[in-house]
Structure 1
Amino acid sequence: MRFAKVAAASTALLLAAACGGGGDEGSGSAGGADPASAPEELTVWVMGSSQDALVSYFDEVEAKYQETYPDTAVNVEFIPWPDAQESINNAMAGGDAPDVLEVGNDQVSNWAAQGALADIGSYVESWDEAADLDQGALEYGRYDGVQYGVPWFSGVRTLYYRADWLREIGMEPPTTWDEVVEVAEAIEKEKDVPGFAAPTDFTNGIASFIWSNGGEIAVQEGDSWQGRLTSPETKEAIEFYAGLSGDDGVSPKAYVGENELVPLADMANSKLGMYIDGGWALGSMEEQAEDKSVLENIASAPLPGAEGNAPAFAGGSALSVFALSENPDHAAELLKLMGGKEFGKKYADAGGFFPAYPELLDDPAYTDDPARAAAAEQMKNTKFFPATPKWNDADLNQKILPAAVLEIVQGEDPDKVLEEANEALTNTLNEPVD
């Protein structure tokens, strides 16, 4: 097995996220392509950096794959997420290219529209384990009716809170909006620090508030998309979220215009009572905590919603076959092996995520682990952003939703702001794909 790192300069940042294949005949083993025509090597691009647990994972993958294709080596190249866009573009232009690649699950439609991904519909249709994948995540791997990616692993955001502080004031972690305010006010009164963080540059968090109130960001109507930022349900949720940072809110002005990285540092250093982030934040908290013992008192709970737990965006990554692969059949078999129940779970565990199979979320390894139980429960209540290549332009480039929330916090008229934002969102989502 060969491992390599690809270094490429890029100013584009892709969201790390998660979806991927499975095993043939429900066994996680390869075997659907002709061994006699197997290539000497298949190349896999994995986004992120090489880690010992991931290297061990791919050693196992190669060994399993070679039970059927003994003469095929698996070459794994780790691509830093910030370099992913340039690396894929270079591959499309005729440079070094993978056979199987990981892309963020919200990037599948973008790369499919640009011709970087192969149609893997026939492979998925004949793959028994596909029926057990998270079907919403599988649907998210389609573009224009064609399957281009399959979920590999998933991750969600939860509510982080200071468990010791809540015990001291005799309160439970909040499950509703009203309780968020109530608990946050109690924390501020007793501990003299902000009780909750509501950063405005935080589409993932804002979306959960919208979804929990029965609202949507946008919906597809036939062949077009329609923004829903002006619906009563969405407007109420946005105004509530913005109000958390208002003059009488519980979230400090320091988080206005910021993303979740700023409250992360405060959470790690006892300067904040609650905030929303993903499981990957724990590693960053450990790096930033001046007093490491604080981490023992940071716990997590499912996201609070309007009247109960809120849906979370099902982040994660997808596995795809590169459009220019010279060995698509054998690449598809490797994809299914990597993302099957056996190896899909192994990769999720190695990376600190969750498998893309709902039935596996009841594993005691997740449900009995205090650090992962809340996220495992949250994984059962997820939603997705609009499955269109233009979503990334609307969110990452234009920041339409975060910008609207910021303007409302700054005192602009919500009706006017959301009307203009909704028009911009609708127009952007319906722009022709280049």
Structure 2
Amino acid sequence: MRSRLVPGAASLVLAVTALTACGSSSSGSGDSGDSAASPAKLTVWIMRGSMSDGFLSRFETDFESTHKGTTLDIQIQEWDGIGQKITSALASKDAPDVMEVGNTQVAQYAASGGVEDLTAKVTDLQGGDWIPGLADPGEIDGKQYGIPWYAANRVVVYNKDLFAKAGITTPPKTRAEWITDTTKLNTGGDDGIYLPGQSWYALAGFVWDEGGDLAVKDGDSWKGALDTPQSKAGMEFYKQLQALGKGPKDSDEAKPLQADVFAKGKSAQIISVPGGADAILKANPALKGKIGFFPIPGKTADKPGAVFTGGSDLVIPEASRHQALAYEVVKALAGTKWQTDMAKEMSYVPNRTSLANVLAGNEGASVMAVGAANGHATPNSPNWAAVEANNPIKQYMTQVLTGADPDAAGKTASAAITKALNTAS
């Protein structure tokens, strides 16, 4: 199971379905079997839909021209069943040289073994400039296994006509302003915000803003944290915001598809990746030019609200026969030239905060980049997928929204998270 945001070519779409000093001269951890100058055929796994054919073709041509005699065999992988395929490859003696993996999957794959430790390369890769919410999942117990590749996160998508109708000329920058404006929008039969009761990634952002988390490390084990005062405060804000719309309390963004709801023209706002606007326009072309974006507001105007940062990392298997060259591939893809190309081609947030300006002119993506500066990740446990499988967070949210005692509901959910994270997979 994977849990990540996957923006599509030239736009972003939401996907919720569910990571090294190389054993080589590139890392100093072992025998590489090659050098960066030695020709080789490298196998690179890229996930379906992550990159356009045009981007991959340009990268392949450029890399081969600058590494004479080296060829790239870029193989597109399907998301269905990828977890077992990657785990098997990491355990084999004939693994690919470079793999793209979902950023929240790094801990799972690192725990299974076979992923190179690239800690010694972080400085060379300008890791101090990486987006925290994308970089953090790749670091396990102080070692960097996953190299951030691209990111995506949620913003507020809004109906400009409904904002103008309510007399709102400037999008809110604080939570308090957001509540005030949403209250104004929730009049005359309009829906101030369409916020389903189980949008748990949105809740996570509010919890992070309060200084809390979904789970915390407790020695060598994990402990669910939805029963803390910080999580309770985050849920209280969610409940206040959700009450200003007509969203169902017992479903998520997919039931019904929130883009379809927004497309009807009566909902003023949704929380979505910017690419959600493409689905809205497909359902209702009349909304062209009437859709705007702003970062999820924070508690104060100087900092946007916290967001979950989805996206992908690049890893190098220990079994790669060409680890120095594999590192050259990773370094190129994570570097300024190809990060800039990728951001413009795919409307992704690049892996470095200093590159956010390359999205200027793309309203949705540039707003997303602003929010990415306060990006976070789900708890960095190899068992996090087990939490999402039954998702006690969703159950907790519905219980609180329908009148259950938040303290009792929080304890029950935290116990379920604790059990899932500490059960051997």
Which residue number corresponds to residue 370 of structure 2?
Answer: 377
Cα distance in 1 for partners of 2:177, 2:37 equals 63
- Cα drift, residue 276 of structure 1: 0.4
Alpha-carbon shift at residue 221 of structure 1 (Å): 3.8
In structure 1, runs of 5+ residues without a counterpart are 1-11, 21-31
Letter in 1 for 2:105: Q
Aligned residue number for residue 39 of structure 2: 38
Aligned to 2:209: 212
Alignment of 1:165-204 (within 5 A): 165-171=162-168, 172-190=170-188, 192-204=189-201
- Give the 3 Å change call, closer, same or farther, for CA 368–236 of structure 1 in structure 2: same
Output aligned runs, 1:347-366, within 5 Å.
347-361=342-356, 363=357, 365-366=358-359
Q: Which residue of 1 aligns with 2:149?
A: 152
C-alpha distance in 1, partners of 2:248/2:42? 49
Measured after TM superposition, the shift of residue 116 of structure 1 is 4.8
Percent identity between the aligned chains?
27
Query: Residues 281 and 287 of structure 2 are in contact (CA less than 8 Å); yes or no, is this contact kept in structure 1?
Result: no
Whether 1:250 aligns to 2:244 is yes
Q: Is the Cα–Cα contact under 8 Å of residues 90 and 96 in structure 1 kept in the other structure?
A: no
Shift, 1:90, TM fit: 4.8
SS in 2 for 1:254: coil
For residues 104-137 of structure 1, what are the alpha-carbon distances to aligned partners after superposition, in whole Å with 9 as ceiling and x for unaligned?
Answer: 1111101111225222233445x25334333553
Aligned pair 1:405/2:400, yes or no? no
* 1:427 correspondence with 2:419: yes
> Shift of the alpha carbon at 1:86?
4.1
Can you list the C-alpha shifts for 1:208-262, whole angstroms capped at 9, x where unaligned? 11122333222324433333212222102213323544xxx22325353222562
**Structure 2 residue 229 is the aligned partner of structure 1 residue 240:** no
Question: What is the deviation of 1:97?
Answer: 4.5
Contiguous gaps of at least 5 residues in structure 2:
8-18, 21-32
CA contact (8 A) 1:14 1:82 kept: no
2:16 is matched with none
The residue correspondences of 1:38-117 to structure 2 (distance < 5 A) are 38-39=39-40, 41-49=41-49, 54-92=52-90, 94=92, 97-117=95-115
In the superposition, the TM-score normalised over structure 2's length comes to: 0.84
**2:384 alignment partner in structure 1:** 391
Distance 1:204 1:188 in 2: 23
Q: How many residues align?
A: 398
**Number of the residue aligned with 1:29:** none
On the 8 A contact 2:131/2:372 being kept in 1, the answer is: no
Shift of 1:336: 0.9
Q: CA–CA distance in 1 between the matches of 2:248 and 2:136? A: 38
Per the alignment, residue 300 of structure 1 pairs with: 293
Where 1:77 maps in the other structure, the secondary structure is strand
Q: Is the 8 A contact 2:201 2:308 kept in 1?
A: yes
SS at match of 2:43: strand
- Post-superposition offset of 1:73: 1.2
> Does residue 274 in structure 1 map to residue 269 in structure 2?
yes
Q: Which amino acid in structure 2 is aligned with residue 398 of structure 1? A: N
Please report the RMSD computed on the Cα atoms of aligned residues, expressed in angstroms: 2.8
Taking structure 1 as the reference length, the TM-score comes to 0.83
Match of 1:183, SS state, is helix
Instruction: Tell me the alpha carbon deviations over residues 327-361 of structure 1, each in whole angstroms, 9 at most, x when there is no partner.
Output: 22211111111111111221232222111111111
Q: Which moved more, 1:262-271 or 1:396-405?
A: 262-271
Letter in 1 for 2:161: D
User: In 1, Cα distance between the equivalents of 2:223 and 2:379?
Assistant: 10
- Which residue of structure 2 aligns with residue 231 of structure 1? 228
Residue 418 (structure 1) aligns with: 410
